[in-house]
Chains A and B, each alone.
Chain A
């Protein structure tokens, strides 16, 4: 059963057609699906997140999902700072790195769509003063925003 409702699917399809510019790859770190995974090791939300990303990516030729096995590709995951799954890395026109950990449910769905649009355009609505300060940052900045889906 699809995760997105038909009305949401149509709305997103229109939004993407109007606002996506450059292609976006959703690099998705997940668990390889296998009946051999022990319950204690199972990533409960990986399957749902994978399905959601597949449904979203199907709504635009500019979107693609690249699945990666967190265990088989552990070294690459570590280098990319992926230490929890499910993890989504948004690759496109962003100058920095955007990541999402967990299933983007509820209000966080808007965060997912917003990230896709911004990374596709490579621009945001941040104020010029903000951009100036960002350009003058003296060192690296790693922000972690902790959220819940309600």
Chain B
């Protein structure tokens, strides 16, 4: 779904990262289960969420970055 958000919005950058190849990323984000999503280095969640729930977190992360 992250990629789809990036297709639709110029504000979005979406990376899918296959972490078994990058142990430093595994360590950095304390990954215990996948998928794990990190948004703007501040909002995180594990597993797959419904679309509306993902959007809520995307909006939360975007708003936090602007100090709103």
The stretch of A8-16, A34-42, A131-139 that contacts the partner chain:
A131-139
Find chain B residues with CB under 8 A from A84 CB. 17, 21-22, 25
Whether B38 and A97, one on each chain, are in contact in the complex, defined by CB atoms closer than 8 angstroms, is no
A144 to B34, CA, bound (A): 12
Contact residue range for chain A? 35 or more
Residues 1-24 of B, flagged 1 when their CB comes within 8 A of A and 0 if not, give 111111111111111111111100
Q: How many residues of B contact A (CB 8 A)?
A: 45
The minimal Cβ–Cβ distance linking B57 to chain A, given in whole angstroms, is: 9
Select one of A81, A97, A124 contacting B8, CB under 8 A: A124
Whether A108 is near chain B, meaning CB under 8 Å from some CB there, is yes
Most buried by B among A94, A119, A127, A146: A146
The minimal Cβ–Cβ distance linking A96 to chain B, given in whole angstroms, is: 4
Whether A141 and B61, one on each chain, are in contact in the complex, defined by CB atoms closer than 8 angstroms, is yes
Find chain B residues with CB under 8 A from A129 CB. 52, 55
Whether A102 is near chain B, meaning CB under 8 Å from some CB there, is yes
Whether B11 and A118, one on each chain, are in contact in the complex, defined by CB atoms closer than 8 angstroms, is no
Find chain A residues with CB under 8 A from B6 CB. 94-98, 143
Whether A138 and B39, one on each chain, are in contact in the complex, defined by CB atoms closer than 8 angstroms, is no
Whether B17 and A95, one on each chain, are in contact in the complex, defined by CB atoms closer than 8 angstroms, is no
Q: Which B residues form the contact surface with A (CB < 8 A)?
A: 1-22, 25-26, 29, 31, 34-41, 51-52, 55, 58-59, 61-63, 65-66, 68
Q: A123-B7, A126-B1, A135-B9 are in contact. List 19 more A-B contacts (CB 8 A).
A: A95-B8, A96-B7, A99-B13, A99-B15, A101-B21, A101-B22, A103-B21, A134-B58, A138-B63, A139-B63, A141-B58, A142-B12, A142-B15, A142-B40, A143-B13, A143-B58, A145-B16, A146-B25, A147-B16
Q: Which A residues form the contact surface with B (CB < 8 A)?
A: 44-45, 81, 84, 90, 93-105, 108, 111, 114-115, 118-119, 122-127, 129-131, 133-135, 137-149
